[in-house]
Amino acid sequence: MNRDWESVFTTWSQGPSKTEQERAENAERQIRQAIHASEKLKNRNIKVFTQGSYRNRVNVRKDSDVDIGVVCFDTFFPEYPDDNVKAELNKSFSDGVYTYALFKNELEEALVARFGREAVSRGSKSFDIKENTYRVESDVAAFFEHRRYTSVTHYLSGVEMIPDDYTPPRVRNWPDQHYQNGVSKNDATSRRYKRVVRIIKTLCNEMASKKIKSAEDTPSFLVECLVFNASNECFGYQSFKPMVRAVLAELFNNTMNDQKCSEWGEVSELKYLFRSSQPWTRQGAHQFISDAWDYVGYE
């Protein structure tokens, strides 16, 4: 069967509907209300923010839930470039008395008070808040600030959590840097980068539904990062079929071995994309790209 891929890709490229976006915003607003209603949390320095595909506007139909981060700045997890910087900063630091475990427990209490016990379930990394007609399903993650010091006077601000099962022992993310770099890439490609991310994410979902293993093993976040590492020249076409072809071809060639992609980063550019700490591999990504090329039927 010959498929009109240009029409398919055009449909897949579309951003979230106004209704989808409103339900995501309602979920975020209700999380914020839950914190403000908590006697234990309302006076703490807390920021609630949408993260992941909804915030970055690369969500597709299968992304039914919204990821919401709740970060407390009253305590932070530091990372130092060397022992000298650590020793100097430790002169003015003291161990925090407010622990991450206590913060996560108090956040759970606040969520249960707002939504009811039956709507809130606790996972190792996040709380799941069931959807209703007003809001989408939400994954709510508790964070402390992560500070990556580059000198005694400067640091990069991210977020860090400790999963309940310590698998992995720590999770560090850079949501603000990810967002800004995604916006910059989108602007530099005439707003085509995020459209291609949505296309290839939806393509991956369709392939996974057909039991193509490489697609089943490829997280949507990895797809976003792979497309980010395609050169801006790939997005210079006026139609989607050759644009996606150029992206897949370049990614295929550059993931054939470690050499060409060893310095690739996540969209934040603060974590390497292919390192042993990641839950995916360069080989797996290469196989998915190859299978995606064949699935569309490019020559």
Q: What is the pLDDT of residue 25?
A: 83
Q: What is the mean pLDDT of residues 167-190?
A: 94
Q: Is the pLDDT at 162 greater than 80, yes or no? A: yes
Where among 134, 158, 173 does a domain terminate? 173
215 and 289 part of one domain: yes
157 and 255 part of one domain: no
29 and 156 part of one domain: yes
Contacts of 251 (CB under 8 A, 6+ apart): 226, 227, 229, 230, 285, 289
Asked if residue 7 is part of any domain, the answer here is no
Cα–Cα dist 112/105, whole Å:
11
- 3-state class (DSSP) for residue 262: coil
140 and 200 part of one domain: no
The answer to whether the beta carbons of residues 243 and 196 sit under 8 Å apart is yes
163 and 23 part of one domain: yes
Contacts of 213 (CB under 8 A, 6+ apart): none
Looking at 34-184, which runs of residues are DSSP E strands?
46-51, 65-79, 120-122, 127-129, 137-149, 155-161, 171-173
**Conformational region of residue 257, where left means phi above 0, alpha means psi within -120 to 50, and beta covers everything else:** beta
Residues 212-228 as b or e (16 or more Cβ within 10 Å = b): bebbebbebbbbbbbbb
Q: What is the mean pLDDT of residues 25-48?
A: 93
* 65 — pLDDT class (breaks 50, 70, 90): confident
pTM, two decimals, is 0.90
Q: Provide the greatest CA pair distance for the chain.
A: 70
Cα–Cα dist 175/56, whole Å:
9
Domain that holds residue 99: 17-173
Segment 231-234 long-range contacts (CB within 8 Å, at least 24 positions apart):
232/185, 232/188, 232/189
Q: Which domain CATH number covers 22?
A: 3.30.460
Asked if residue 283 is part of any domain, the answer here is yes
* Mean pLDDT over each residue of the chain, to the nearest integer: 92
* Higher-scoring residue by pLDDT: 176, 61: 176
For the stretch 251-267, pLDDT in tens is 999 999 999 999 999 99
Q: Is the pLDDT at 56 greater than 90, yes or no? A: no
146 and 221 part of one domain: no
Where among 147, 173, 199 does a domain terminate? 173
156 and 56 part of one domain: yes
136 and 44 part of one domain: yes
Asked if residue 5 is part of any domain, the answer here is no
Cα–Cα dist 91/201, whole Å:
48
152 and 210 part of one domain: no
Q: Is the pLDDT at 289 greater than 90, yes or no? A: yes
Cα–Cα dist 240/9, whole Å:
6
* 109 — pLDDT class (breaks 50, 70, 90): very high
Where among 173, 207, 241 does a domain terminate? 173
Q: Is the pLDDT at 1 greater than 60, yes or no? A: no
Q: What is the pLDDT of residue 126?
A: 95
Q: What is the pLDDT of residue 64?
A: 62
For the stretch 208-261, pLDDT in tens is 999 999 999 999 999 999 999 999 999 999 999 999 999 999 999 999 999 999
Cα–Cα dist 273/96, whole Å:
32
Asked if residue 9 is part of any domain, the answer here is no
52 and 97 part of one domain: yes
* 63 — pLDDT class (breaks 50, 70, 90): low
Q: What is the mean pLDDT of residues 270-290?
A: 95
* Higher-scoring residue by pLDDT: 58, 28: 28
Q: Is the pLDDT at 143 greater than 80, yes or no? A: yes
Could you tell me the two tokens for 277?
């700490």
Asked if residue 11 is part of any domain, the answer here is no
Asked if residue 208 is part of any domain, the answer here is yes
Asked if residue 2 is part of any domain, the answer here is no
217 and 268 part of one domain: yes
Asked if residue 271 is part of any domain, the answer here is yes
* Number of separate domains in the chain: 2
H-helix segments, the chain: 5-12, 18-36, 52-55, 83-90, 100-115, 175-188, 193-209, 213-216, 220-228, 240-254, 258-261, 282-296
**How does strand 65-79 pair with strand 137-149?**
parallel
* 134 — pLDDT class (breaks 50, 70, 90): low
**Conformational region of residue 297, where left means phi above 0, alpha means psi within -120 to 50, and beta covers everything else:** left
104 and 218 part of one domain: no
